[in-house]
Homo-oligomer: A and B are copies of this chain.
Amino acid sequence: MDVVSQMKLFVEPHSIAIIGATTKTGAFSFNITEQLINHGFNGEIYPVNPKAGHILGRKAYRSIGEVPAKVDLALIPVWERFAVPGLVKECVEAGIKAIIVVTQGFADGDREGRELQDSIFRIAREGGARVLGPNSLGVANAFIGLNTAFMPCKMDRLPLGLICQSGIFFPGFHTLRTLGKGIDVANGCDVHVADALEYFENDPDTSVILLHIEGVKDGRRFVETARRVSRKKPIIALKTARSEEGARVAQSHTGSLAGREDLFRALARQCGIVEAIDMEEMEDLAKAFLRLPLMRGRRVGIVSMSGGAAVMLVDACARYGLEVGTLSPETLARLQQLSPPWMKATNPMDFWPLNMHSKLGLVETTRSCLRQFAADANIDALVLTLGIAYGQESSQVAQTVSELTRTFAKPICWWSGSSSREEAILDLEKTGVVISPSCERAIRTLRKLSDRWQFLAQCL
Residues of chain A at the chain B interface (Cβ within 8 Å): 28, 79, 81, 104-105, 108-110, 112-113, 151-152, 154, 164-169, 171-174, 212, 214, 240-246, 248-250, 252-254, 278-280, 283, 306-312, 314-315, 317-319, 324, 340, 342-344, 346, 348, 350, 352-353, 356, 361-362, 387, 389, 417-423, 437-440
Given A168-B417, A308-B212, A439–B279 Cβ distance below 8 Å?
yes
| Docked CA distance A440–B344 (Å) | 41
A-B contact pairs, 16 of them (CB 8 A): A81-B342, A105-B343, A105-B353, A109-B343, A110-B342, A168-B308, A171-B417, A174-B418, A242-B315, A243-B314, A246-B311, A248-B314, A252-B346, A254-B307, A278-B312, A421-B422
B310 near A361: Cβ-Cβ < 8 Å: no
| Docked CA distance A252–B348 (Å) | 10
Give the distance to chain B from A296, nearest Cβ to Cβ, in Å. Answer: 22
B173 near A418: Cβ-Cβ < 8 Å: yes
A280 near B318: Cβ-Cβ < 8 Å: no
Residue from the set A244, A312, A437 with the largest chain B CB neighbour count within 10 Å: A312
Q: In the complex, given contacts A240-B308, A249-B310, what are 15 additional A-B residue pairs having Cβ atoms less than 8 angstroms apart?
A: A110-B344, A112-B342, A166-B311, A167-B308, A172-B418, A214-B311, A241-B311, A242-B315, A245-B318, A245-B324, A249-B348, A252-B344, A253-B308, A253-B311, A422-B423
B438 near A279: Cβ-Cβ < 8 Å: yes
Cβ-defined partner of A438 (8 Å) among B79, B104, B280, B350: B280
Give the distance to chain B from A446, nearest Cβ to Cβ, in Å. Answer: 16
Q: Kindly list chain B residues whose C-beta atoms are within 8 Å of the C-beta of A311.
A: 166, 214, 240-241, 246, 249-250, 253
Q: Kindly list chain B residues whose C-beta atoms are within 8 Å of the C-beta of A245.
A: 314-315, 317-318, 324
A308 near B165: Cβ-Cβ < 8 Å: yes
| Docked CA distance A205–B8 (Å) | 63
Given A81-B342, A422-B421, A439-B278, A244–B318 Cβ distance below 8 Å?
yes
Given A105-B353, A174-B419, A319–B168 Cβ distance below 8 Å?
no
A350 near B440: Cβ-Cβ < 8 Å: no
Give the distance to chain B from A59, nearest Cβ to Cβ, in Å. Answer: 27
B319 near A243: Cβ-Cβ < 8 Å: yes
Give the distance to chain B from A340, nearest Cβ to Cβ, in Å. Answer: 6
B173 near A253: Cβ-Cβ < 8 Å: no
Q: Kindly list chain B residues whose C-beta atoms are within 8 Å of the C-beta of A310.
A: 249, 253
Considering the complex, give the chain B residue whose CB is closest to the CB of A30. B356
Q: Kindly list chain B residues whose C-beta atoms are within 8 Å of the C-beta of A352.
A: 104
Give the distance to chain B from A436, nearest Cβ to Cβ, in Å. Answer: 11
A168 near B105: Cβ-Cβ < 8 Å: no
| Docked CA distance A319–B240 (Å) | 12
The 6 tightest CB contacts between A and B, nearest first, are A166-B308, A243-B318, A253-B307, A109-B342, A171-B419, A422-B422
Q: Kindly list chain B residues whose C-beta atoms are within 8 Å of the C-beta of A279.
A: 312, 418, 438-439
Give the distance to chain B from A60, nearest Cβ to Cβ, in Å. Answer: 22
| Docked CA distance A168–B313 (Å) | 13
Q: Kindly list chain B residues whose C-beta atoms are within 8 Å of the C-beta of A171.
A: 387, 389, 417-419
Q: Kindly list chain B residues whose C-beta atoms are within 8 Å of the C-beta of A280.
A: 418, 437-438, 440
